[in-house]
Amino acid sequence: MTKIFTTILLTSFLAGQGFVGQQFDNGSINYSDRKIQATGIGAIPDIALTNAAQARRAALRIAKVDAMRNLVEIVNGITVDSETTMSDAMFDDVIKTKVRGMIRGAVQVGDVKYLSDTSIEVVYEVPMSGISEIMMPPPAMAGEPVASDIVGAGTATPTTGSITGVIIDARGLGVRPAMSPRLLDQNGGVVYGPNNYNRQYAVTNGVAGYSKTPEAAAKDQRVIGNPLVIKAVAITGTNKADVVIGNSDIMKIKSADTSYGVLRDCRILIVLD
C-alpha cells in the first residue's frame, strides 16, 4: 500500500549534527549530509516455513522491498531547484529509468531491528550525489574549470586575508533547501549558477551547503577559515530556493571568486530558519 508522507521542515539538530531537510513518516531527505533514507517494514509471511531462520529471511526480503518503494516516493519529494522537484522530473522516462536504477543500488545502513510484533525493520540509503549526477546539466562547452583545478572547500590552509567561502544569511526569508539553488542580483541576474561552478565538484559535494545558525555555518568545512558573510535581501522561485543578494554586495562575492575561486569550488553556505 502506498504510504502518504507528512513533510515537516526540521528546526532542530539530529544526532548531534545540524539537520536541514525533510523528515517523513518512513524516511528523510537531508540536504546537510546529502543523504536520502527510507525505512522498510517486513512482517513474517503467512506461509509454512520450516524454521525461524527462513522466516526472518523472508521478512527481511519484504522489508527491503518496502524500503525501496519508500525510497522512490521520498526521492520524488526532493527539490531540485527553484522551479523543479524530482516529481516533476520523473515524467521524463530517461530520468525515471536512471533514478530507479540508482535506487536499486541503495545500501542498508544500521542494524536490522526486530520489532515486538515479530516484524523486521531496515533502513536503506542513497547519496544525493547520485541524483545530482542525473539531474545536473552537462558542463558548459567552454570556461568551466576541470576537476584537477578544484580546491576542496575548507581543505587547504588559507593564507592571511584570504576568503575561504561565502555565508549567505537568509534567515527570516523563508528560503527552502534545494539541490541546486542560485544566487541572484536584485535585477534577476544570475550571480551563482551552473556556469559558475565545476560540475563534478557540485555533484560530489553539492552546489551549496545549509546551516541553521551562523555559528554552525562558520565551522562548516565548506567555508571554514575566513568566510565572507552576506545578508540576503529576498528569495524567489516557485520552490523558494533562489536567494537574492543586494546589488551592493555583488562585487564582494565576485571579487572573492576572482581571487579565491569560492564560486567555482561551491564554497557557498546558506543559513536558513
Is residue 268 predicted with pLDDT exceeding 80? yes
- How distant, in Å, are the alpha carbons of 86, 125, 212, 223, 264 from that of 217? 27, 25, 8, 8, 19
Residues 6+ apart with CB under 8 A from 261: 145, 151, 267
Nearest Cα to Cα of residue 60 among 113, 110, 125, 101:
113
Res. 142: pLDDT tops 50: no
pLDDT in tens, 97-111: 999 999 999 999 999
Identify the pLDDT of residue 90: 92
**The pLDDT of residue 32:** 87
The predicted-structure confidence for 3-48, as pLDDT tens digits, reads as follows 333 333 333 333 334 789 899 889 999 998 899 999 999 987 765 6
Of 43-52, 131-140, 254-263, the least confident: 43-52
Per-residue pLDDT, averaged over 174-189, amounts to 95
Neighbouring CB atoms inside 10 A of 242's CB total 25
- What is the maximum alpha-carbon separation in the chain? 74
Contacts of 42 (CB under 8 A, 6+ apart): 58, 59, 60, 61, 62, 63, 64, 65, 66, 119, 120, 121, 122
Out of 160-164, 246-250, 256-260, pick the least confident. Answer: 160-164
- Write out the H or E segment, with its range, that includes residue 219: helix 214-219
- What pLDDT, on a 0 to 100 scale, did the predictor assign at position 139? 64
> Mean pLDDT across the chain, nearest whole number?
84
Give yes or no for residue 153 having a pLDDT over 80: no
**Per-domain residue ranges for the chain?**
8-135, 147-271
Contact 22, 7 (CB under 8 A): yes
Band of residue 115 on the pLDDT scale cut at 50, 70, 90: confident
